[in-house]
Structure formats: structure tokens, C-alpha cells
Structure 1
Amino acid sequence: MEGIVSRLSRRDKRKLVQHMRRCQNGQMRIRYLIVLSCAEGTPPSEVAKQLKVSRSTVYRVAERFNEFGETGLADRREDNGERKIDEEFLSSLIKLVGSSPQQFGWPRPTWTRELLVVTMARLTGVSIHPSTMSKALQHIGARRGRPKPTVNCPWSKAAKNRRLRALRTLKATLPSNEVLVYEDEVDIHLNPKIGLDWMLPGQQKTVLTPGKNKKRYLAGALNPRTGKVTWVEADRKDSLLLIDMLWTLLETYPRAKKIHIILDNYCIHSTKMVQLTLNSPKGKRLKLHFLPPYCPDHNRIERTWLDLHANVTRNHTHQTMDQLIEDVRKYLTNRNRKKQHYNVAA
């Protein structure tokens, strides 16, 4: 349009197009397009509509191009001074997010953007806006999540590492005619576990609960060679549940010379009834290997139970336990069919 952008020669237009195609900055490319469109006589309102920018932006870009030429298209924020968020700042932020506010004298145990801004200003002398802190957190891949509760293992570090090393060696040197599984139990509650979900602004989804809770229990055994989960169900979480699991393993792996079972120290795992089962003629093919206390991360079936809750029990809408258990069975059956978590790492 006459007067918005000065007339451009064919050579100048071709030069701008070439520079635009080589430009890696999206905002800069928009400014090139504004100039080229206006030079073709396109009305500013139409340019704004096509490029999804405001008319004031079109006029401002055109004015700077007319005054300074192509150099006027550069982002003027480069003149704002030294960039505040540099690699040194981000490195300090990574360390800060990995710590607790209480380590820096704050009474609050969790971080907020505002608290991070104040603390980073103290540590680095660089003060930024909370919205800029959001971008910095996104840049380092930080997220808001629920911390995992843990309990210290009562064993010495040497004893704990010795046991874990022995279990890793067992798995690495397992003969082909023997089987190793990770065993654990999981509680299935009719009252659903409540978990995170996407929601629209101003909306909070609701989960209808049956009110009176009911429970079922599963014992499962994960074979790290195949990824297969073998499981049994019961109304009570006691030694009979584990014993049922042991007999099921004997039936599942009839040709295995030895079935090694890695499990935790839960009380139902070391009763006289369990010992009688292990001492029976068929039970002699079974051998229990106990993990150090409070080391759930080393029991590989724990991840399977987390996935089960995420895919079935969390925010579920079933009103009867039979419906819920049927979904649990379907999930585990499909999981085995698809060979998910195949060859689970040690």
C-alpha cells in the first residue's frame, strides 16, 4: 500500500525473501512478511489478519523499515542490556530446584515461583519477574510433581549394597533352566484413587465414589526375561495369598529347575505356613530372596502396579468391585499380550 512501506525494487524484494528463508527466528520472519506484504500494496488490516498480528505491529514494523531499512527489523530487545538468564543462572536454578527452601532459611517446605525469584536474586544478584522464572523452569525441564515418601533402610549401607549386589549377580548369572521373578502384592480399592487429569479453565471434574469402600488383593510375579506378570487374587492379604502365588508359579513354570522369587520383608512372606510350603516336595523348587527393608525401587514389579493404578484404578467410575476387578484382569492380560516392559532392566 502506498505510503506504508517505501517502494521496493525487484532486486530488494528478492534479497528480503532470501534473507527471510535463511532466518531461524520466527518473529523475525513475521517482520519480513509484513514488509513484503505491505510492499505489494496489501492493506495493513489485511496483513494483520493474514499474519495474526495487530495492526499496530504492522504499522510499527513498516515505520522502522522505512527509517532504518532491513536492520530495523531486528529485535530491539537486544539493546536492553546483558541477558539475565544465561547458562550460569540456569545452572544455579537447577541446584536450587533440587533442594528445599528450608535449606536457605525459609520456613516453607516447597518452592513457589516467587520464592525462587527472591532466592535466586540473593544467590546470583539477578532479579527477574515470576513469569520469566516460569520460562526458566520450563527451559531446565522442571515440573511440579508429588514427592515420593520414603523410609530409611535400617541396615548399614554396606549390608544393603551387599544384598542388592548379590541379587543383581543372581539375575545376571541365572541358568537357562531356572526362572527369576519379582513378587509383590497390590491393594485394589473400590473407592478410587484420585489422580491428576486435564481440565478446562474454571472446571473441576468430579469422581463419583461408592461411599463404602471394599478391597481386593492381588499378588503378582514379574518375569524380567519375558515381561510376563503372573497373578492371583484374594479377599484377604495374608500368607494364603502368597502361598497361592507360589503354587501358581510352580504350575506356570513346570520345567524350571529352580524358581527364584525376589520380594520384600512384609510379614506375610515369612510365616510358618509359607515355610511349610517351601519345605514340601514340590516347594523345594522355590527359593525366596528378600530385599533389604524399605527398598521398593529395587522390586521391579512396583512399576507394574503404578501403571495398573494409572490405567485402571485412578479416578475410576465403577460402582461394584466385580466391575473394577474385571478391568484389572483385562489390563494385565493385555499387558502380557503386548509384552509391555519386556526385558525389564536389573
Structure 2
Amino acid sequence: MAVAAVGRGDSCNAAARALGCATSTVVCAVRRYREAGREALRDRRAGNGHPKVDGQFRQRLERVLAGTPEDWGWCRPTWTRELLCVELQRRGMPRVSVATMGRTLASLGARLKAAKPIVQCPWPAWKRRRRLYVLRCMEAHKPPEEPVLHVDEVDIHLNPKVGRDWCLPGQRRVVVTPGNNQKRFVAGALNVRTGKLTWVEGRSKASTLFIQLLWRIASQYRRARRIHLVLDNAAVHTSKKTRRALAQLGGRIVLHFLPPYCPEGNRIERVWLDLHANVTRNHRCRTMARLMVRVHAYLAARNAQRSASPSLRRADLRRAV
């Protein structure tokens, strides 16, 4: 088409604009046609041989990405595209360019992610799995008059948690921090059967906050014969004040402890993640009072709509502000 356009008298620039390609593409096509005729216009990519990136290449790349560079003998903790090219070549694969490696990673759905720091459970794997299995069986088989709730506490900071947000090219979201950080603490209990959330607010994460939650749970589940709480091994859950409060409640509330450092076994952790995503991340509240109003509004709306991201009406948001 480029050669035909130039043959009709169009300039190379005009032909390139009409075809939506670079002017150099039209110039090269015309030059090849003048030098060797029609045969020079044939697609010559058929002589390139087999593609370097095939199914086997992708499988080995997935196997490499399952570990860290240190697992494969490199003195570096994170992968780069250049290092992946070298590692695949060391494994007998053809050497590819950095751009080709980037396209291959995109085709696999691989992307740069922040690492998740965790503390490993000190229990043996079999003991940890058995404990989690016992707790799941309790949740599944307890009668309705003995509700099972997952309990945990969350920190609310006046300095906002900074997170990603959609922005136009050349723009970046700006979040003004108040400077002097303030904290509030929310203790909550999630009913695993109904999804209902019970929570209290406090100025410190002490036994008093947890005891306040115990009395709130006891008042909301008055008809319950026994209330089972699944929670972690924090000191406030086993303090002397807490044991005295449990005794005052007449043994109606029974504590079941998770294995150490096992947040994935507590369902309420998902609620706190949603709370940060919907309220505290990149927030613009200048006072802790305004922020806590929004926190309570979100938790109340979540209870009402049973949704991780309840849509609050504008009028509600104005009241929260």
C-alpha cells in the first residue's frame, strides 16, 4: 500500500500519514521495491526460526519466580528483568532481551508487588493445623444458642495510611498529614454465622477496652446460653482484669485461642482491611473526632448492608464530616 501510494504521486510523508505508520517504514518499502522488485516486499519474518519464548520458556520462568534469587544461588534478594534473563539462560533457555522478558512477565500476569511481612508461628505445622481444624469444627457445629465470634483490635491513626489511587497521567494524589499523630483503638467481634459486627472504642489498647467489649457482647446476646470467642494470644485477653470480668459474667463467655501469629485464622482481620480501604487510607480528616465519626458510620453501614464496601449516602457523609 505504501509503494502504491508513492507510485500514484504521493510523498512518503503523505503516504505515512494516510496509512498511520512511520515515514521511515514507507521509505524502506519503496527502496526495497526499487532495488529488488515485488519479491523484496515479502514478509521475511518466516526466516527468523522458532520463537524464543514458547511454552517451555514460560514454565521455567514460572518455576523461577516461585522462589527468590537467593534460593537459586544469587546474592540479591529481589528479581530484576535483567537477572531473570540471565537465570533463564543459565537454565538452558535462549537469551532474550529485557523488553522481551517484560512482555513475557506481562503475559503471565506477573507484576511488582510489595512483600507481606509475617511472623512465623512457632508451633509445629501439624499442631497448628489441628488447632485451626478444631476451631472450624466448632464454628460449623455449635447450635444457634451458642454463637461463635471472632475478636480482635485495630489501631486508628490520625496520620493517614498512604495507599494507591487512580490518577491521570502526570498527576499524583497529595495527602496532607496533621503532623502530630493521634491514636484510637477499636475492639470488635464478628459473628461468623450472621456477619453481625459488635465493636467498642477506646483511647488505649488495654484490658479495659477488651472488658468493655465483653460486656457489650453479653448485652447484645442476652439469650445466648454460651458465647464462644475466637481470638489471638494478646496479653489483654489473658490478664487478671480480664479473668475477673469473665468470672463476673458467670462463665457465659468462653475464650478459644488461635495458634500464635496466625492472623489468617481470624475472620475479623478481613473487616479491618476493608475498614482501612474504605475510611482510613488517604483520608483528609484533620481531627480524630471527625475520623472516628467516619469509622463508626462505616461499621454501622457494614452491619446494615452486610457488604465490605457499603455505599454511604451523601447526607450521611456530610454528617460524618
Interval of TM-score (by shorter of Structure 1 and Structure 2): 0.7 to 0.9
Distance in 2 of aligned mates of 1:170 and 1:99: 36
* Residue of structure 2 aligned with 1:218, choices 186, 207, 224: 186
Judged with a 3 Å threshold, the aligned counterparts in structure 2 of structure 1 residues 121 and 169 are, in CA distance, closer, same or farther, namely: same
Map of 1:271 onto structure 2:
239
Work out whether 1:333 is the aligned partner of 2:300: yes
Q: Is the 8 A contact 2:2 2:29 kept in 1?
A: no
- Give, in angstroms, the shift of residue 210 of structure 1: 0.9
- Give, in angstroms, the shift of residue 118 of structure 1: 1.3
Work out whether 1:4 is the aligned partner of 2:4: yes
Q: Is the 8 A contact 1:185 1:220 kept in 2?
A: yes
Map of 1:307 onto structure 2:
274
> More displaced, 224-233 or 193-202?
193-202
Distance in 2 of aligned mates of 1:263 and 1:2: 72
- 2:258 maps to a residue whose letter is L
* Residue of structure 1 aligned with 2:51, choices 58, 78, 83: 83
SS in 2 for 1:187: strand
Distance in 2 of aligned mates of 1:51 and 1:251: 75
SS in 2 for 1:134: helix
Map of 2:119 onto structure 1:
151
Distance in 2 of aligned mates of 1:120 and 1:301: 42
Map of 1:111 onto structure 2:
79
* Cα deviations by residue, 1:295-326 (Å, 9 ceiling, x for unpaired): 11111111111121122212222211011111
* Residue of structure 1 aligned with 2:105, choices 137, 159, 170: 137
- Give, in angstroms, the shift of residue 56 of structure 1: 5.9
- 1:163 maps to a residue whose letter is R
Q: Is the 8 A contact 1:227 1:341 kept in 2?
A: no
- 1:222 maps to a residue whose letter is L
Judged with a 3 Å threshold, the aligned counterparts in structure 2 of structure 1 residues 51 and 239 are, in CA distance, closer, same or farther, namely: farther
- Give, in angstroms, the shift of residue 190 of structure 1: 0.7
- Give, in angstroms, the shift of residue 213 of structure 1: 0.8
* Cα deviations by residue, 1:55-94 (Å, 9 ceiling, x for unpaired): 6657888999x947xx95x7x5443211111111111111
Tell me the percent identity: 46
Work out whether 1:169 is the aligned partner of 2:123: no
* Residue of structure 2 aligned with 1:258, choices 203, 208, 226: 226
Q: Which runs of 5+ in 2 are unaligned?
A: 310-321
- 1:324 maps to a residue whose letter is L
- 1:234 maps to a residue whose letter is G
Map of 1:35 onto structure 2:
none
Map of 1:122 onto structure 2:
90
Distance in 2 of aligned mates of 1:218 and 1:174: 27
- 1:336 maps to a residue whose letter is N
- 1:266 maps to a residue whose letter is A
- 2:91 maps to a residue whose letter is L
Map of 1:322 onto structure 2:
289
- 1:4 maps to a residue whose letter is A
- Give, in angstroms, the shift of residue 52 of structure 1: 4.3
* Cα deviations by residue, 1:229-249 (Å, 9 ceiling, x for unpaired): 221100011011111111111
* Cα deviations by residue, 1:14-50 (Å, 9 ceiling, x for unpaired): xxxxxxxxxxxxxxxxxxxxxxxx9xxx999888667
Distance in 2 of aligned mates of 1:230 and 1:50: 66
- Give, in angstroms, the shift of residue 106 of structure 1: 2.0
SS in 2 for 1:124: coil
- 1:337 maps to a residue whose letter is A
Q: Is the 8 A contact 1:261 1:287 kept in 2?
A: yes
- Give, in angstroms, the shift of residue 337 of structure 1: 2.3
- Give, in angstroms, the shift of residue 268 of structure 1: 0.5
Q: TM-score, normalised by structure 1?
A: 0.78
Distance in 1 of aligned mates of 2:219 and 2:265: 26
Q: Is the 8 A contact 2:3 2:29 kept in 1?
A: no
- Give, in angstroms, the shift of residue 290 of structure 1: 0.2
